[in-house]
Amino acid sequence: MLAGPLSPHREDQAPGPALAAAAAGFGTPAYLMDLPAVAAAAARLEAAFGGPWLRLYSLKANDLPAITSFLHGRGWGASVVSTGEWRYARAAGVANDSVAFEGIGKSDAQLGFAVTEAAAGRPVRWLALESGQEAAVLAGLAAAAGLGRDGRPSLDVLVRLNPEVAPETRPEFAVGARASKFGMSDREILALAGDGALAGPRLRLRGVQVHVGSDLTDVRAFGDAGVRATRLLAALRAARPADAGWLDTIDFGGGFPLPAPGMPGPEDFRDALARALDRAGRALPPRPAIEPGRYLVGAAGWLVASVLHARPGTGGAQLVVLDAGMTEFIRPALYRTRHPVSAVADGPGNQAGSRLLDTAVEGPVCESTDSFGRHLLPPLRRGDLVAIGQAGAYGASFTSRYNGRPPPREILLWPDGSMEPGERPPLTTGQASTSRE
């Protein structure tokens, strides 16, 4: 662990001393996760969604157990989309009754794992069903394990609704659109509610999961989807009057954008949902939930890299190649997203007051798409440090071994200013989230 007088900083500023210290102590490329910034984001969400709201951290944004543990200490549960993430949540100290098991494609082995845990008296908070076929497989496994009989608990399930809305986001992030692969229509769900898969004590239907998309730029689709979900919950109660007392949950998803001028904040989504429900004559269920990921960790993460070489470009520009690329942070290549890039002042070639040059910032991978775009940076040379911002979500969890590159180090900056590397327990063949499990 490294410790030093690293003072707090604003969310829109690169923590230069900490980035330089991380590079010096652990090498580059490396992610630095600023846990005070995670806490600030969590506090804003907690203020917006207090009261009856269940708050779940979506591990797919960043599955480093230390981050999950840090949030769990604030009362957050976990949303996982694989048994691998589930084990990371467990390594973070999150018990099954605070875990929601979701995800578009669960293998028989993954469903069996959830059933085995329930039979052992450790059921998850809920498992979200994506289709009637998934429900049938889960029901068969639950029956074979004797769930709901002889003292074994039932397994609580939600049904995922495709709200068929037009989310205000990039097409790649619009999971609530009609044509997306995610979830079922309300007609499919009502048919499933009358099917034998959800009959009896094995599986206990608790409500609805709905998720509009990621990085939403407006609040309207979030409110519209919430109305659709509450209407469906009422219809399920009417269709299953004997179970109406258990039908108490709607997971409204997440998708809140990172703080930026003109972008809606968590409280705007809360208020939009409240207004939409009021207009529709609906109310929140007894157990409403949210499951943000990127909002909690996105702005808290920085990828610090070293310049491998720099050369003049045309018209006074420069081109630099870093030791970090799409294998470490694929979002710019995959989605054409733009992330802030800045020079770390402690680099050997960086001089205060240097003029800024139009700079093509490139990665080292043998692909022309391995680029972080053009940015205004001072003149750079080999060994200088560069920081890529807003990299805390879908960065380290997206790394690949392409070109034989090892994963970057992940460094945690704690509230007391100390730093230490983050670690994950290994996923063995028997733990992998595949059909071989």
pLDDT in tens, 13-45: 567 799 999 999 999 999 999 999 999 999 999
- What is the bridge-based pairing of β-strands 371-377 and 357-362? antiparallel
Alpha-helix residue ranges (DSSP H) falling in 314-383: 331-335
Are residues 347 and 270 located together in one domain of the fold?
no
- Helix (H) / strand (E) element for 31: namely strand 30-34
In a domain? residue 89:
no
Nearest to 257 by CA among 214, 223, 224, 300: 214
Q: Which residues make Cβ contacts (< 8 Å) with residue 245, sequence separation at least 6?
A: none
In a domain? residue 433:
no
Tell me which residue has tokens 């609805």.
Answer: 208
Q: Which residues make Cβ contacts (< 8 Å) with residue 10, sequence separation at least 6?
A: none
Q: What are phi and psi of 8, to 5 degrees?
A: -60, 160
CATH number at residue 342: 2.40.37.10
Are residues 262 and 370 located together in one domain of the fold?
no
User: What whole-number distance in Å separates Cα of residue 96 and Cα of residue 88?
Assistant: 12
Are residues 327 and 230 located together in one domain of the fold?
no
User: What whole-number distance in Å separates Cα of residue 159 and Cα of residue 137?
Assistant: 14
Q: How many residues does the chain have?
A: 437
Q: What are phi and psi of 307, to 5 degrees?
A: -75, 125
CA dihedral 306, 307, 308, 310 (to 10 degrees): 180
**What is residue 383's DSSP assignment?**
T
Are residues 132 and 266 located together in one domain of the fold?
yes
Are residues 311 and 165 located together in one domain of the fold?
no
**Confidence (pLDDT) at 314:** 82
Q: Would you say residue 434 has pLDDT above 60?
A: no
Q: Would you say residue 48 has pLDDT above 60?
A: yes
Q: What is the number of other CB atoms lying within 10 angstroms of the CB of residue 347?
A: 22
Which pTM value belongs to this model?
0.90
User: Tell me: the pLDDT tens digits for 64-118?
Assistant: 999 999 999 999 999 999 999 999 999 999 999 999 999 998 999 999 999 999 9
pLDDT tier, 1 (very low <50, low <70, confident <90, very high otherwise): very low
Please, what is the end-to-end C-alpha distance for the chain in angstroms? 35
Are residues 334 and 413 located together in one domain of the fold?
yes
**Confidence (pLDDT) at 336:** 82
Which residues span the domain enclosing 246?
Answer: 103-290
In a domain? residue 412:
yes
> How buried is residue 360: exposed, middle or buried, by Cβ count under 10 Å (0-12/13-18/19+)?
middle
Spell out a b/e string for 348-359, using b for 16 or more CB atoms within 10 Å of the CB, else e.
ebbeeeeeebeb
In a domain? residue 370:
yes
Number of domains in the chain: 2
In a domain? residue 93:
no
In a domain? residue 167:
yes
- Helix (H) / strand (E) element for 86: namely helix 83-91
Are residues 141 and 158 located together in one domain of the fold?
yes
Could you tell me the sign of the dihedral formed by the alpha carbons of 87, 92, 97, 100, in that order? negative
> What average pLDDT score do residues 245-257 get?
94
User: What whole-number distance in Å separates Cα of residue 409 and Cα of residue 412?
Assistant: 10
**Inter-CA distances, 433 with 6, 106, 142, 251, 293, Å:** 39, 9, 20, 24, 20
- Secondary structure (3-state) at 25: helix
Q: Kindly state the percentage of the chain with pLDDT values over 90.
A: 74
Residue 99 corresponds to which tokens in the numbers above?
């875990």
Chain-centre distance of CA 14, in angstroms?
A: 22
Tell me which residue has tokens 């470490």.
Answer: 328
Q: Would you say residue 244 has pLDDT above 90?
A: no
